[in-house]
Amino acid sequence: MEGKCIRSELLGEQYYEIKHQSGLTVLVMEQPQCTGAFAMFGTRYGSVDTCFKLESDDDYTSVPEGIAHYLEHKLFESEELDAFERFAQTGASANAFTSFDKTCYLFQCADRVEENLEILLDFVKHPYFTKETVQKEQGIIGQEIRMYQDNPDWALGFNLYRAVYHKNPVRIDIAGTIESIAQITPELLYACYRTFYNNSNMVLAVAGNLTRAQVLAVCDKVLQKEEPVRFEQIVPEEPDTVAQPYTEAIMPVDLPKFELGFKQPAQPILRDCKERVSMDILLEIIAGKLSPLYHELLEQGLVNPSFYVYYFTGRGFALPTFVGESSDPERVRAAILARIEELRQNGITDEDFALTRKSLYGQELRAFNDMDDLAYQLVDSYFSEETMFSALATYREVTKGDVEAMLDRLQADNSSFSVVKGETK
């Protein structure tokens, strides 16, 4: 089973996309020069997926907030050794994460790659939930939720999402709330698992010193054929305007933190690579590390090197943001808005466009030297229905006009500003 070869002539790199007989898509980037491998097993299921309906169902099922993250935790358990203990015996480093639109399980190892891959596939595809273990996990995840609630950076981001969005479930904390996780039962976990952990909704990505024949042999051994599960998800209709323009929290911070976000039009399920690359370039031109504005703010002591720009985007949402610390967050916000207006009036110079595009293109190239990042890129691009080389090609093709067109998407009267301040003495 050779699969489809996806190649970048520019990089001289390639990987294979194979539809395994089980229904799972397998992506393999063979790197015989490397020691060991990195593997990621992901499902297109995240915290935003709280309402769904199987093709055979009459009604939608609403599930408690935080259940995707809860399910991630529970899958590591089994009737015998949990997955972490199994990986510890092979010397592999394992982890998992739940984001807004995906859940991924991963490991990195220097040897015994096939054995570790078998463990990964085995524990993810064999759920084990009981009433007792589910109740036990509520206390553990409850502590995690409280920890996040006490984290100023976490509060800063989610306060912004709640200020921007009226209904989009991206405003929901990934881990849920103490109250929502108390409603989770084994039956609900199994219902979500059967819907979203079907092989047709998942992808396995492996990068490193392993051939596709070896990967497929492990898949043949562990995976059973599954008929595709078809389901619908409710995406709430989101108003064009922000929910509120300003939000503030008082927490123990030495310096006020801020995050400025600009609401984008309702997003399609799939991201557009050209739009994403154009917005990334624009944000860097406005206030990235190479921009005049960043250096002016730095010299004036209004920001420090922790300041950064970020296009927060995923399945069904997109939010250009400016994030940092400042003794006067409002002055920084005003300076960013003024810079956007200046660019809107005068346009972007050829020099700024060329320099910024070259810088970001270089960052994209360097990412291909990181084996950890390769597996993530494979998964992320597959779920976006792109290839992992799509962004590179887009950086070479994008024009200054494409980037300038994004300026109209950054409107001051449709932005939200989140601030976390320390207590006034």
Q: How far apart are CA 228 and CA 78, in angstroms?
A: 25
Give the N- to C-terminal CA distance of the chain in Å, as an integer.
68
Is the separation of the CB atoms in 311 and 329 below 8 Å?
Answer: no
Task: Assess whether 397 carries a catalytic annotation.
Answer: no
Of 86, 70, 77, 197, residue with least CA distance to 145: 70
Q: How far apart are CA 122 and CA 135, in angstroms?
A: 24
| Residue from 65, 72, 77, 325 carrying the catalytic annotation | 72
Q: How far apart are CA 66 and CA 233, in angstroms?
A: 16
Tokens 């409002």 belong to: 330
Order across the sheet with 231-233: list the strands: 61-62, 51-54, 231-233
Per DSSP, the three-state class of 329 is helix
Burial 303-322 (b: 16+ CB within 10 A, else e): beeebbbebbbbbbbbbbbb
**Active-site amino acid positions:** 72
